[in-house]
Structure 1
Amino acid sequence: MEELVIIGYGAAGFASLIKANELGIKPVLIGYGPIGGTCVNFGCVPSKKMLNVGELYAKYRKHLNTDIYPQFFDSFKEKDDLVNEMRKIKYENVISSYDVTLIEGKAYFISQRKIKVNEKIIEAKKFIIATGSSPKIPNIKGIKEVKYWTNVEALNPDRKIDSLVILGGGPLGLEFAQMYKRLGVDVAILEYMPLLLPNWEPEISLEVRKILEKEGISVITNVNVKEIKKNGEGKTIVTNKGEIEADEILIATGRSPNTDLNLESAGVLLNENKGIKVDDELRTSNYDIFAAGDVIGNKMLESLAGKQGSIAAENAINNAHKKIDMLSVPQAVFIQPNVAMVGLTESEASKNQKIDTRLIKMSDVPKANILGEDEGFIKMIINKEDRRILGVHLVSENGAEVINEAALAIKMRASIDDIVDTIHVFPTMSESIRLAALSFTNDIKKMSCCI
């Protein structure tokens, strides 16, 4: 009988493997599809590389007053080279340095302690399920008959397109919208809800829409897509607001947990998001089975998946009872300027405590003016009584970097006084955190740069 079987070799699975070795356990690691999972192959790494290419050219156009655009397929070749290199360095080479039995194949439970993979039956004391997620395809008339893109095809196009319609105004949809717009493609976003990023602060949603529309991206909200039809080499999208034609359509309506493992045989239940139900220690309804990463179906974030994989392994092996402070988990959307958040929204924070909020514009941050990138703002939410920081939400150049300070502040349950008393490098975008904290007690417009 094996001590530990890990199913899935993406971020969560690799983190589980590494922690298991640290604790003296040689696990069985079972993977299906390209090693490294979604992030390095079809997610974070390639998409952020493509966004970076587009951002460079957008800055050339803005600051050098030129009309230069990247070469369509050359950009994707550069992305492919990076993906191949990082997959080799961070996954293929890494796994060879650990003590693990690697099996490539699709696993299914046949009982509470046994799985079957490649016709082989494996019994184990503990399991960690880290099988990730896949694109969620909505039930729209005609969609099965019409070829469409998901993030996989959008990052590996087989032809150059001139127009793209994106279904979904969440993080994925926004990133691909700006990515393709900056490749010279006409882009429209169709969002079912009244706001883009519907789970974020409304001020964020409105600011993001303004930024994207200023860039020439069409944003249509409150859209009900009724049918998708072929139109020669392109597509026609029939909605409650009329018909839209485009060369290609990208489905960005969310992701579904990969739970096709015959979980019923293992006594593993699902949650309301159709992901695996876990407790705060990442234990499923089967005491000996844990889950980590996207397969849980809640926040689907690379960094969170890695942390969950490590904690799941420690709890499975040592019954360590470790938990993750979900309040301090940051997230970002890598459009430019970045969108980022950590902690509670104003609505969440105000439910059971007295709060205070401040919002300062990036135009009040010296470094934003130096860079010529002063779009956006930072909003901070605090507990009115003890001045602890409860939430930070921002639209900012390099905002994905800035938000990490806010995450640490919330993790340490810091107050605005702690932030104000911490000297920040001048000039930096992270000064926006300190300026937001200062704004609760001072008029920052009446202060010199370094105060």
Structure 2
Amino acid sequence: REFPGIKPGGTTLEFNGIIEQKNQIVRGLRREKYADVLKSLPSTKLFRGNARFVSRTRVKVDGINVDGKRFVVATGSSPRIPSIPGIENVDYLTNVEALSMKNRPASMVVLGGRALGLEFAQMYSHMGTRVTLLQRSDRIIPEEEPAVSDALRQYLEEEGIKIKTGVRIKRIYQKQGEKVVVATVSGREFEARGEELLLATGRAPNTDRLGLKVVKASVRKDGAVKVDREMHTTAPHVWAAGDVIGEPMLETIAAKEGATAAENALLGTHKKIDFLPVPRAIFTSPQIATVGLTEREAHEHGIECACRTIPMSKVPKAIVVRDTRGLIKMVDEGSTGRILGVHILAENAADLIHEAVLAVKYKLTIDDIIDT
């Protein structure tokens, strides 16, 4: 963004330096948030390895038996690799490899138009990579408000990212190092080519090798562990939390689930999670942050919805910082004015959403906000 009276100088981008900075941050946070915390808990013992249940009260960690009365499963998820003809013969990337490359690719095809795919597509586009993004559904981030996803698509395309929705992929092949995706949109065939192919097609819960049948903890068809609102599995002494229990696989929600599962398992409490006021964010530019119900979800609950949308071009702060991209949509109950959901597309949306979280959690009304 240009500001009158300010003339920025030229900048250069060192891809290797960016990746190394990322590695340093991850190492530091892993040490600070996990390793150091475990060291400060004398009653906690860490075992590194692959664990699986071998009996009702025992797990085996790479040959070591560990016994317990209660267990919390939080094994996370792994990239889901779609069944596409030819994919087994292609050198594709997942989010792990995409953050570990030594050289920036000149071009990239991204499969998937939800949070992960959008974040990576824009990141590489900002670094100079030509990006084509293919999405199966009719719009990107279909779980978000249509106005939000439509506006974000416009901004990404204005930056030069090619986006195709309603895509049906027929096959993938690799020729002389170039990855080629053969697909159709509305029956018309096309090819998307890139030096790299990034799969952002979802994640699969890590449950295959846990031995959950031994403890009679049920899993769904997608491999996710079945839990109730207390994070309790179908096994009376096993709880689960995070990506391993399936969608929505988001850090903010996983943290809430983990705390609830641990408290219930250790203290014998029956704390339940209310997912409605738990926020989520997508770190594109502008960011997306949401909490509560969408307009469609409100109608599905039989609620007469009064929805209000304001473009960021009407917000003085956005005008001052010269970034008026985005909008704020509020979903409220027509008869009472109770705020049911807030959806923000704006720079720093992830910071702005927290006021809305309190409004949704404590069932505030529009008038409550006005009078505050």
SS class of match (2:171): strand
2:165 corresponds to: 221
User: What is the correspondence of 1:2-401 to structure 2 with a 5 Å cutoff?
Assistant: 64=7, 68-99=11-42, 100-240=44-184, 241-260=189-208, 261-351=210-300, 352-401=302-351
Q: Against the structure 1 CA distance between its residues 365 and 311, is the aligned structure 2 distance closer, same or farther, given a 3 Å change threshold?
A: same
1:419 corresponds to: 369
CA–CA distance in 2 between the matches of 1:318 and 1:160?
49
Q: Against the structure 1 CA distance between its residues 114 and 403, is the aligned structure 2 distance closer, same or farther, given a 3 Å change threshold?
A: same
Whose helix proportion is higher, 1 or 2?
1
1:198, distance to aligned residue in structure 2 (A):
1.1
| CA distances 1:327-381 after superposition (whole Å, capped 9, x unpaired) | 0111111111111111011011023121100110000100000111101101001
| CA distances 1:263-294 after superposition (whole Å, capped 9, x unpaired) | 11110101354210001111000011000111
SS class of match (1:149): coil
Residue identity in the other structure for 2:18: S
Q: Against the structure 1 CA distance between its residues 67 and 225, is the aligned structure 2 distance closer, same or farther, given a 3 Å change threshold?
A: farther
Q: Against the structure 1 CA distance between its residues 257 and 238, is the aligned structure 2 distance closer, same or farther, given a 3 Å change threshold?
A: same
SS class of match (2:87): coil
Normalised to the residue count of structure 1, the TM-score between the two structures is: 0.78
1:137, distance to aligned residue in structure 2 (A):
0.7
SS class of match (2:289): strand
1:66, distance to aligned residue in structure 2 (A):
6.2
CA–CA distance in 2 between the matches of 1:230 and 1:406?
47
Residue identity in the other structure for 1:283: H
CA–CA distance in 2 between the matches of 1:142 and 1:67?
43
Whether contact under 8 Å (1:127, 1:288) holds in the other structure is: yes
In the alignment, structure 2 segments of 5+ residues that lack a partner are none
**What value does the CA root-mean-square deviation take over the aligned residues?**
1.6
1:407, distance to aligned residue in structure 2 (A):
1.1
Whether contact under 8 Å (1:381, 1:389) holds in the other structure is: yes
* Percentage of pairs with the same residue: 43
CA–CA distance in 2 between the matches of 1:69 and 1:363?
31
Q: Against the structure 1 CA distance between its residues 411 and 345, is the aligned structure 2 distance closer, same or farther, given a 3 Å change threshold?
A: same
1:69, distance to aligned residue in structure 2 (A):
4.7
| CA distances 1:155-181 after superposition (whole Å, capped 9, x unpaired) | 111333100110000000000011000
CA–CA distance in 2 between the matches of 1:396 and 1:123?
49
2:354 corresponds to: 404
| CA distances 1:128-170 after superposition (whole Å, capped 9, x unpaired) | 0000011111001111111111000111113331001100000
CA–CA distance in 2 between the matches of 1:80 and 1:68?
22
In the alignment, structure 1 segments of 5+ residues that lack a partner are 1-57, 423-451
CA–CA distance in 2 between the matches of 1:391 and 1:288?
35
Runs of 4+ aligned structure 1 residues displaced above 4 Å come to: 63-67
Normalised to the residue count of structure 2, the TM-score between the two structures is: 0.94
